[in-house]
Structure 1
Amino acid sequence: MDHVAFDDAETYEPDDGWMRAALAGSDQFSVEWFEKPPGHSSPMHDHENEQVCLCLEGELTVESDSGETVTLERYDSVKLDGWEAHRVENTGDERAVGLDVFAPGRSFDFWTDREE
């Protein structure tokens, strides 16, 4: 058993108000809690990992580089294939909170080591 207390989780704040916390995971999968302020969008990006994005609070719009979009409300989810370019935006008026599950697992190095 590998317990991660939320208050002790490794965190990363890529932008003001966009915070991520690394929860329990392994090389096979990882789970990241995140929050986004209204209007915030991640940049269009891709990664080798398959991803499931689950909306816990607020509203999140996920857009692929093909132009396909889906808006997630509380407890809705979307699965993204590895290398499927996408961005996630808080299109609501309140803070959005979600969980991302990645397979295989990843670390925050994805964001900290990336070149723009």
Structure 2
Amino acid sequence: MKSEKFDGAETYEPDEGWRRVALAGSDRFSFEWFEKPPGHSSPLHDHENEQVCLVLDGELTVATETDEVTLGRYDSVWLASGESHRVENSGDSLATGLDVFAPGRSFDFWTDR
């Protein structure tokens, strides 16, 4: 067993106000808690990992090259490996969520760009 305390977990802030925290995981899957300020959008990107994005609070719009969905609290979306997408806080307040990646990944995805 390996536990990860939230307050001591590895944290990364790709943009001001967009914070990601690495939770317990492995090379087979990883969990990242995140918060995103109103109006913030990640850039359109893709990765080898499948991804599930779960909204914990607020509102997020997830857009691919062919589709778009707005998610509220406890809604989720699955993204296939290699599927280009962006995630935007389309609400008026801070949004928080949980991303699950398979296979697992580190923050190198963002820091090595």
Structure 1-normalised TM-score?
0.97
Letter in 2 for 1:71: T
Give the aligned residue type for 1:62.
V
Distance 1:105 1:56 in 2: 21
Q: Which residue of 1 aligns with 2:14?
A: 14
Residue 107 of structure 2 corresponds to 108
Q: Which residue in the other structure is 1:37 paired with?
A: 37
Aligned residues: 113
Q: Return 5+ residue gaps in structure 1 as ranges.
A: none
- Counterpart of 1:71 in structure 2 is 70
- 2-side partners of 1:35 and 1:59: how far apart? 11
Structure 2 Cα separation of the partners of residues 50 and 14 of structure 1? 20
TM-score (norm. length: structure 2)? 0.99
Unaligned 5+ runs, structure 2: none
Extract structure 1 runs of 4+ deviating beyond 4 A.
Answer: none
Q: What is the CA distance between 1:65 and its match in structure 2?
A: 1.6
**What secondary structure is seen at the aligned counterpart in 1 of 2:44?**
coil
Distance 1:15 1:48 in 2: 22
CA RMSD of aligned residues (A): 0.4
